[in-house]
Structure 1
């Protein structure tokens, strides 16, 4: 495996002829070896999205600032929103949970097994139920109970987030509706798992809603949090088949496995800079483009 510095370039701009050629030729001239590249032009919004992974292959350009400087003329030419990241950087993540611990357990196991490219820095909860799990993994547990003063509780949550240098808050079945102010503060930095295949069955007890409608599949949705409840840009979804012989609790049991998988994918893809916002939607560059 190569030990050369590796960087991730993401681009968002108006679609135009020559973007891919301009980026790839600039990287080649800078001594970069492109190992992965994906791009998408949205005909509906006339926007172009690109994600490129490259490593240093020469001696002229070696740092992220070198490549940023080399790419600036291209960014200016096409009016790009351009970001460069060190591929080795592991975003700091805080997990928030209430009383349902399956998603928390799954994420912590994958993180502890080095299967998620993140650094978990702590667990936040409005209950004390998950303390033992967090502390088993050697993580700080921030118990922030709801005691009738939601603004004060959310101020504490945001303080824990900011003071720890956290880059992403993951709502791993955190059963509290975040205020509009907190949603705005965490825009693009907060992922939720909703135990339903959105946009169907929003709000409370979605599996019971689904059972009442006699659906044949139930699912889960990983999405960015916005002030509009359960309507943030969707990152990932998956489903599992159900049938008429199952009760609502069977739906819940099956759904938990799907929630685990969907949330872990959403966190991983965010950490790998594979998710680009496209208005109320997302562009997700999975492995292999």
Structure 2
């Protein structure tokens, strides 16, 4: 058990570090080709920093452990908004620019609608499976999202630095080497999570929604904190919020297409979904009414995230998958 835990921790660290390199090189490539700041946050950075979630989803689905990928996706989305934006707000504060508000609101509404559908499917239709057709529809939604971001003329042009061809080529090579490290470390993470869940009798959905999701959101956290420190609020918000739709459409879609995802712990799944929608609603309120996140907003986001972990633990206890709290 100690060995598996050590492998899990080491693989999560490798995931975070290699994804950070991917992000750095992606920024160099974006400067070379010239991409707007908000587009970088929404698409390039969000896509790059979601590589751990994507790798976990692919590997876990191939192994027949799709519940890990589902728990990881929804848990990561909760962490993206509550944990990452909460940390940015407490550390540096975040200001939502008027020109970015519409784009962020659109993403939050779309992701909320998708998650509400899954809640409806679980509660009303009593369907514990995310089918291949649903996965294909999610992938179609992702392609539309990419088209929308790339075709949008609302973003200001990025005043990028000049990048030499040699530096761009080096970034390109390191970008794909780092992707390989991400995939390898994701395989180790999924394998160790599976073995740990068997050893301690904890459901894979719970582990995916907590430990793995927190580990795989480290790239988003580091990038968003760096952007907030430099007052690049569009980049910080775009990265965190953009990651939620990348996770929900591309990551979950690919996982479901590879293998239909069977939800083994419905109560855990529902708790995670409900808190994911709640996180979206909180950010929607802030975007519409407050327009900025200060320390108080950050503390509130943190408290909601801790509440999520507590409620999730209680749900697992009632399922008999964790020791009941005293």
TM-score by length of 1: 0.26
Larger Rg: 1
Greater fraction of residues in strand = 1
- Bigger RCO (CA 8 Å, 6+ sep): 2
